[in-house]
Amino acid sequence: MPSRSSLVSEIQQLLTGEQADPRAAQGLFLLPVVMELVLRMFLGVGFDAYFIVATLIVAVATVGAVLIGLDRLSHRWTIALPVLDIVALGIYRFSEPTAIAVAVVFPSIWLGLQYGRKGVIITTVVVAATFVVPTMFFLGLTLMDALSRVSQMTLMAVICSAAVAFVGDLWKAQYEQARNTTARLELAMADVIEQRRLTRTIVNGVDVGLVALDAEGAYDSTNPRHEEFMALAYPDGHRGMAGQEGFVYAADGATLLTSAEMPTTKAVQGETFRDYLIWVGEVPAERRALAVSSSPYFRNNGEFGGAVLAYHDITELVVASRIKEEFVASVSHELRTPLTSIVGYTDVILDDSEHLPDDARAYLLVVQRNARRLHRLVDDLLSTALQSVATVLDVERVSVTELLERSAVEARKAATAAGLELDLDTAKAGPQLDINGDSERLAQVFDNLFSNAIKYTPAGGRVVGSVGRDGDVAVVKVRDTGRGISESEQSKIFNKFFRGSGVLTDAIPGVGLGLSITKTIVDAHGGSITVTSELGKGTTFEVRLPLADPPLVPAA
């Protein structure tokens, strides 16, 4: 007898096609036949010719089932097996006493199960031919009497076959639907797996450290690049939680970060940041500079789900920036010495100018003025490289209007040479527009603004400087009708060494330090500088400086 699992498999094969192994179905039919044989032997009932013939037919069907199951006989003969079983049952009916004919449900179910509607028709025809017709001829009954004797048996066989055929068709439809659904799911799963494999390949291949944190700060996943950074920061291993302290340093490369200052801690708190500079590594010579960015993600219900951090290795960029600053500082320092000599000797000569011709004195004044300006620019370049431009201020009470007018005098000469018109509006300045500041540094601010306006305005354009008062703040504006600044570059123009794309294309001279120095000086005075611009229409710089307290008026 087949096992339970093989029996289920055979029934599934019967439901899914005509190539099913018939041994299981025939084996089920043999159960009542064997039982009949055992009962007859136990009760001492003999075996008449009908019983022997019917049993031989069953044996032939059983041998056929075995041969078909072993692929020794074509599966086309499978349909003959339940037919032979029904014929044998019809013959068994004439062997008294017996009730084995009720086993007709087995081959009927077999036909309906494996062959569907065709099996129902075959069952009806075969049962009628083997039950109704022999009853009429062998017993000499009329058709109605024969039907009355075998109608229940025939009806039961047909109903069983039809019911099973209906259930089988329904099962096949559902099975086909399930198979199609399974196929679609397999395709979708294969696509998901492929996409996941591609994503994993990209994540593992990029030269950026990536780490995903859950809402509690636990490390969900990391890529190999980030694991390299982790090995530098945590040579003794990492617990897999945000905020763990290790060999992680601040932007200066020397101050250890606390747990609260760790980028992972900030990320778990929901902060979004970019280019958070840290250094990792126990040995100073092997430390790496990392620019960290964090983006939180949220679940469908809006709850915080965690964060993804990206670690960019910018060590070479930071080192190059330091080398550049050191180079600028070195060059500026070397230029400072000869310029100091030029300014000093010029001052000495001018102190004894009584014996100089008037034109020579005028020339020396020009040399003195420009040498001092150049000396100031070199000082600013050096201060910028050393990040200390705001540390040297000689504060006194100065008039913003007078400083702007002096800068405008020098700028008007350059504007005329460039074919530009330069105007100055001081009508709104008021009588007391004084601030506490460094006149040399503030003059440098206004000189830079006028110089830029002239440099970036084509011939035929116009430059306008104005000064006014807004409450307790002095407002200086320098407006031009030049090329303008794109919106994307306006936020970068105060960065050191930044030069716009159009300026680079047109090869306009400069190093990109003027506005950086200007902003540093304005900030040192407690003021602010802003820019508004439109490409092709011009640019306006606005400097706001806090006014000094009005002088005390002596009592009469």
Rounded CA-CA distance 551/556 in Å is: 15
Query: What pLDDT does 476 receive?
Result: 92
Query: What pLDDT does 100 receive?
Result: 78
CB 478 within 8 A of CB 408: no
283-286: Cβ within 8 A, 24+ apart: 284/253, 286/232
Hey, what CATH class is 209-313 in?
A: alpha beta
Please state the separation of Cα 127 from the chain's center in Å: 70
Beta strands in 403-444 (DSSP E): 421-425, 434-437
**What is the phi/psi pair of residue 489, to 5°?**
-100, -10
Continuous H helices in 48-104: 49-69, 80-92
CB 53 within 8 A of CB 91: yes
Q: Angle 315-351/358-385 helices, nearest 10 degrees?
A: 160
pLDDT at 237 over 70: yes
Share of the chain above pLDDT 70, in %: 82
Q: For 337-375, how does the pLDDT look when each residue is reduced to its tens digit (9 = 90+)?
A: 677 778 777 877 777 767 777 777 778 778 877 877 777
Query: Model confidence at 1, in pLDDT bands (50, 70, 90)?
Result: very low
Please give the CATH topology (third level) of the domain spanning 391-546: Heat Shock Protein 90 (3.30.565)
Which of 479, 481, 517 lies closest to 498, judged by CA?
Answer: 517
Residue positions counted in the chain:
556
Rounded CA-CA distance 98/39 in Å is: 10
CB 277 within 8 A of CB 242: no
Rounded CA-CA distance 427/349 in Å is: 40
Q: What would the mean pLDDT of 21-29 be, rounded to a whole number?
A: 82
What end-to-end distance do the CA atoms of the chain give, in Å? 131
Query: Model confidence at 389, in pLDDT bands (50, 70, 90)?
Result: very low
Q: Strand pairing partners for 210?
A: 310
Q: For 103-145, how does the pLDDT look when each residue is reduced to its tens digit (9 = 90+)?
A: 888 888 888 877 878 888 888 888 877 876 676 666 565 656 6
Q: For 404-441, how does the pLDDT look when each residue is reduced to its tens digit (9 = 90+)?
A: 888 888 788 888 888 889 998 887 766 568 889 888 88
Query: Model confidence at 147, in pLDDT bands (50, 70, 90)?
Result: low
Query: What pLDDT does 308 receive?
Result: 92
pLDDT at 312 over 70: yes
**What is the phi/psi pair of residue 467, to 5°?**
-140, 140
Rounded CA-CA distance 436/160 in Å is: 109
CB 463 within 8 A of CB 480: yes
Q: How far is CA 6 from CA 1, 10, 21, 435, in A?
A: 10, 6, 10, 100
Report the C-alpha dihedral over residues 409, 413, 418, 419, rounded to 10 degrees: 80
Query: Model confidence at 249, in pLDDT bands (50, 70, 90)?
Result: very high
pLDDT at 554 over 50: no
Q: How many CB atoms lie within 10 A of CB 411?
A: 24
Read off the tokens for 88.
């044998």
Q: Which of 78-87, 273-282, 480-489 has the lowest mean pLDDT?
A: 480-489
Q: Which of 254-268, 443-457, 497-511 has the lowest mean pLDDT?
A: 497-511
Name which residue leads in pLDDT, 476 or 207: 476
Q: How many CB atoms lie within 10 A of CB 442?
A: 24
Q: Which of 58-72, 118-132, 369-383 has the lowest mean pLDDT?
A: 369-383
Rounded CA-CA distance 141/155 in Å is: 19
Contacts of 448 (CB under 8 A, 6+ apart): 514, 515, 517, 518
Q: Which of 200-204, 370-374, 511-515 has the lowest mean pLDDT?
A: 511-515
Name which residue leads in pLDDT, 397 or 495: 397
Q: For 261-307, how does the pLDDT look when each residue is reduced to its tens digit (9 = 90+)?
A: 999 999 999 899 988 999 999 888 888 999 999 999 888 888 888 99
pLDDT at 510 over 60: no
Read off the tokens for 232.
């530098």
Read off the tokens for 82.
């339940």
**What is the phi/psi pair of residue 462, to 5°?**
-140, 140
What residue type is assigned to position 187 of the chain?
L
Q: Cis (ω within 30 of 0) for the bond into 546? A: no
Query: Model confidence at 388, in pLDDT bands (50, 70, 90)?
Result: very low
Query: What pLDDT does 143 receive?
Result: 59
Q: How many CB atoms lie within 10 A of CB 286?
A: 9
Angle (CA) 470-471-473 rounded to 5° is 65
Query: What pLDDT does 470 receive?
Result: 86
pTM for the model: 0.44
What residue type is assigned to position 284 of the chain?
P
pLDDT, mean over the chain: 80
Query: What pLDDT does 311 receive?
Result: 92
Structure letter (DSSP) for residue 102 = G
Q: What would the mean pLDDT of 172-192 be, rounded to a whole number?
A: 85
Query: What pLDDT does 471 receive?
Result: 85
Query: What pLDDT does 8 receive?
Result: 55
Tokens 């007898």 locate to: 1
Name which residue leads in pLDDT, 551 or 167: 167
- Please return the burial class of 176, using the count of CB atoms within 10 Å of its CB with bins 0-12, 13-18 and 19+: exposed
Rg (CA), the chain: 51
Which of 236, 212, 394 lies closest to 311, judged by CA?
Answer: 212
